[in-house]
Amino acid sequence: MSDEILKHIRCKVGDIAPYVIIPGDPGRVKRIVDQMDDATLLAQNREYIVYTGTYKHVPVTVCSSGIGGPAASIAFEELIKLGAKVFIRVGSAGGRQKDTPIGTPVVINASYRGEGTSRAYLPAEFPAVADLDVTNALVQALKESGSDYQVGLGFTRDAYYVQDTQLNALLTDCGVKAAEQEAAVLFIVGSVRGVKTGAVVSTDSNIWLEQQPTLAQKEELFFSGERKCITAALEATVILHGAGAHDFQ
Catalytic residues: 204
- Residue 209 and residue 5: Cα distance in Å, rounded? 47
β-pair type (150-157, 178-180): parallel
